[in-house]
Amino acid sequence: MLKGIDPLLSPELLKVLCEMGHGDEIVLVDANFTGCTLAQGKPLIRLPGVDLVRACAAVLSVLPLDDKVAQPVAYMKVCDSPAGYASALQRRVLDLLDSTRSATPAQCEATERFAFYERVKRAHAIVQTGEMQPYANFLFKKGVISEPLMA
């Protein structure tokens, strides 16, 4: 255990988050996601019994999001839903992002299912939660922690 570190962040997950560079992406997905198929050799970390919102809160407690891109957050669009729709669970994650000042709603992009899968293929790692709600899949682009540039 470490002081100030969410206990949900296992040594394996902390290692993966630490190894990620600026612009790398990590995906947090539900229990039904095709994690093994899409991992393609990248780390696949399982958090069975953990819901998506809890997992996102833990990861976002240490992961800075990229503030140099318009939308550092993507989530899987619910099939056949109207533009602007988000499920109740997706709204909970979006609210978490907003309340922690990680990202505003405008910085979060609903992404069509198969386009989301393509982004997952390029991601650094996948974290598969125990979340049973469908479409509970979010992608986060890592930013940097830095000091102001010196003149």
Q: Can you give the three-state secondary structure of 20-78, one letter per residue? A: CCCCCEEEEECCCCCHHHHHCCCCEEEECCCCHHHHHHHHHCCCCECCCCCCCEEEECC
Helix (H) / strand (E) element for 2: namely none
Catalytic residue numbers read 22, 66, 117
Tell me the HSE value of 97 on the side-chain side, using a 13 A CA sphere.
26
Dist. CA 7–CA 90, nearest whole Å:
24
Closest CA to 125 of 31, 39, 18, 8: 39
What number of other Cβ atoms are within 10 A of residue 2's Cβ? 9
